[in-house]
Amino acid sequence: MRILVLQHLDVEHPGSLREVWARKGHERVTVELDAGEPIPELEGFDMLAVMGGPMDVWEEDAHPWLRAEKAAIRRWVRELGRPYLGVCLGHQLLAEALGGRVASMAAPEVGVSRIELTEAGRADPLFAGLGPEIEVFQWHGCEVAELPEGAVPLARSQASAVQAMRWGPCAYGLQFHPEIVEDTVADWKRIPEYWASLVKTLGPDGAEDLAGVVTPRLPSFRATAQRLDDNFCAALVETA
């Protein structure tokens, strides 16, 4: 496949998914929206992956490119009907672009947690071989508060009711981060907004210790990312 990746911060990249895609021979084209790079013509791509970022979906005045990004996502899934994978902000942008609502949470959800698959999630091909509960990595202060019409909730956590969703046959959003790698925590701690949410959630000591909590779990997180991508590709074959 030829994959278009939309990034909103250089350290919020596809992480371990880059290795998975490279092994499968996929071509990855990255657009750094926060750096002013334009979204290319969509027709030349087979999959759209939209990553996370410190901005919120409604901050269009501060980040005018959000308007073009939402329009591109809407066209991609509604008109072109091609495979979509959104992670964290990319999950929220999918909901917003299709008419759902994203809102701030009472408290950020940061660190290692467990998500529970819904009945629909347990039956969805994306989560085949996973669950009914999955240990995942979280780092977000907003959530999908109202699903767009036609969207199916696939997973939830104690803090957030929509940890994963599907719209149509092949547009998926994941609130959690399956893609994290060895440098993720250190890279993200340097982002002021992320550090603030980390300290608010875990306290200063917990914030400093997060990498130590995450590191032994990285093999499991990589295995989950691999399985999700394998399932995603298998589902595309079935719906083609």
Q: In this structure, are residues 7 and 33 in contact, taking their beta carbons and an 8 Å threshold? A: yes
Helix (H, G, I), strand (E, B) or coil at 191: coil
The answer to whether residue 179 is catalytic is yes
Q: Among 69, 88, 96, 142, which one carries the catalytic annotation?
A: 88
Output the CA–CA distances (angstroms, integers) from residue 11 to 78, 81, 126, in the order listed. Answer: 29, 29, 26
Cis amide bond preceding 216, omega within 30 = no
Q: Is the dihedral of CA 90, 95, 97, 103 positive or negative?
A: negative
Greatest extent of the chain over all pairs of C-alpha atoms, in Å: 49
- In 118-214, which ranges are continuous DSSP H helix? 119-123, 184-189, 192-214
Among this protein's residues, is 177 annotated catalytic? yes
Residues marked active site are found at 88, 177, 179
